[in-house]
Structure 1
Amino acid sequence: MEVNPLYFAITDTNGTRHTFVLAADENQSDTVDLAPGENVSSTVTVKDPCTPQYVTFTDRGRGDLIRVNAS
């Protein structure tokens, strides 16, 4: 599975979706290809101040969604 920082978005506690800002944090992941069972952790940064509720990954930017609680 290709994991690209541009495939992430944050939904805040008001339900507003915020798109990812590229190169905003040194802990941001590069684009990587993961084999089954592999994982990567990364920082997802958005432009506008918000209280994040969910981080959503969209497979290849238009496929299946994976949503996790923000921490």
Structure 2
Amino acid sequence: MLMYRVDLTSLEPSERVAAVKRIDVVAFDTYDGYGTSGLEYVDVAWDRKEDFVSSPVFPTGCRCTKMGN
């Protein structure tokens, strides 16, 4: 299973929650990450064959880092 960290700081706070909800519908699991500005990132456990970064649920304009191998 692949793990990704999506940096949500380029989005408005209200958009961050909506983005996580969209991802959570199709991902195996999501883990919210909080910092000084509230919800700042989401870790995504991705078990689908479709590439996460090019999937329709990936929030446009956000940075994404693949975690692990």
TM-score, normalization by structure 1: 0.32
Query: Of Structure 1 and Structure 2, which has the larger fraction of its residues in helix?
Result: 2
Higher RCO (CA 8 Å, separation ≥ 6 residues)? 2
TM-score, normalization by structure 2: 0.33
